[in-house]
Amino acid sequence: MKSLIEKELQSADKILKPDFSSKSGREFLVFYLQAKFKQILSYDSHCKNPLFRGINPNFASKFSRRLIDNPSKRLLIGITGESASGKSTICREIKKDIEKFSLPVSVLSTDNYFNDISKEIKEYGGFDNLRDAGYDLDAPSNFQLDILKKDLMSLSDGDNIKAPMYLPNGTGVSVPNALDIKSNKIIVVEGIATMYDTVQDVFDIKIYVETENDIRKQRFISRACNERNQDEENAIKHWNYLNDVGCKYVKPFRNQSDIVLNGNADLEYFADILEYIYTFTNNYEQTPVVS
């Protein structure tokens, strides 16, 4: 991928930047993006550990029509996947590139839209006790999906929002209107709730991150024991719960996604793809100034 970046930067055969305010300019942009995306897919298919595992055959035409017909709306990208699949890691890599290239991108986690269950946690004497009592923590009914959808539609229309913040400290507390999220040109939203029924149709691009179960299990237990100070027995118990939840609520959306990514792909390679996308979308020939 580094070679493609260098070739793009050194190429003397560059296109003039299209006029995106005109329909013909947007149509040319779509043609250009499709050609570059095919180039990425071709390169990726020859890699030892490819990033792309699947592309919905209707994605290109649907996304192209969206760019041409609705240019004023922000671009919403939803990223989902089972627990420890790598979706949060991918978003962290995206955040690095946002900072590196000063990209107009906002990132939002749907985990902040969990219901406040602090009362239930107190009643049962702890988060783990509530789980063991059969409370389905990750069910669609345990998310503020109405608020999430409203917020996403506001972001899509160009309005900034104040998202809730779910405290990741085991208390189950949700603080309303706590996070300032700017409506940038691109909004990346990650979490299992991105593809729940009442929310999924808001997104322009739906991405499913897929990783084999044994790798996910190893990641989850290591993270639970080393980063969250959980004992191994409880970590395994929670893993079994999350694995069941993933099969029930998350995995069915794999076939409805636009793009399936390999959650075990090399992060440096993923970062190179992001850099290449940035390069070819910002590397136009300058329009000559007429004196």
Render pLDDT for 254-263 as a digit per residue (tens, 0 to 9): 999 999 999 9
Phi-psi region of 120 (alpha: psi -120 to 50; beta: other; left: phi over 0): alpha
Average pLDDT score, the chain: 91
Per-residue CA distances from 210 to 54, 104, 200, 263, 266 (Å): 10, 27, 18, 5, 14
Question: What pLDDT, on the 0 to 100 scale, is given for residue 219?
Answer: 93
Instruction: Read off the tokens for 102.
Output: 């000063």
Distance of CA 242 to the CA centre of its chain: 19
Q: Which pLDDT band, with edges at 50, 70 and 90, does 286 fall under? A: low
* SS3 (DSSP) at 176: strand
Render pLDDT for 162-216 as a digit per residue (tens, 0 to 9): 999 999 888 999 999 999 999 999 999 999 999 998 899 999 999 999 999 999 9
pLDDT, mean of residues 217-221: 94
Q: How far apart are CA 62 and CA 258, in angstroms?
A: 10
Altogether, the residues listed in the chain come to a count of 291
Residue 291 DSSP code: -
**What are residue 163's DSSP bridge partners?**
179
Residue 114 DSSP code: B
Instruction: Read off the tokens for 115.
Output: 């219901």
pTM of structure: 0.91
Q: How far apart are CA 170 and CA 68, in angstroms?
A: 45
Using CB atoms within 10 A of its CB, is residue 236 exposed (0-12), middle (13-18) or buried (19+)?
A: middle
* SS3 (DSSP) at 72: coil
Using CB atoms within 10 A of its CB, is residue 39 exposed (0-12), middle (13-18) or buried (19+)?
A: middle
Q: Which pLDDT band, with edges at 50, 70 and 90, does 291 fall under? A: very low
**What are residue 35's DSSP bridge partners?**
none
Domain limits of the chain?
1-51+266-285, 52-264
Judged against a pLDDT cut of 60, whether residue 289 lies above it is answered with: no
Name the fold adopted by 52-264. Answer: Rossmann fold (3.40.50)
Q: Dihedral through CA 76, CA 266, CA 263, CA 274, nearest 10?
A: 10
The rounded percent of the chain whose pLDDT value lies above 70 is: 98
Q: Dihedral through CA 284, CA 269, CA 3, CA 33, nearest 10?
A: -30
Are 183 and 155 contacting, i.e. CB atoms less than 8 angstroms apart? yes
Per-residue CA distances from 220 to 95, 136, 224, 231, 283 (Å): 22, 19, 6, 12, 40
Determine how many CB atoms are found less than 10 A away from the CB of residue 164. Answer: 19
- Helix (H), strand (E), coil (C) string for 200-233: HHHCCEEEEEECCHHHHHHHHHHHHHHCCCCCHH
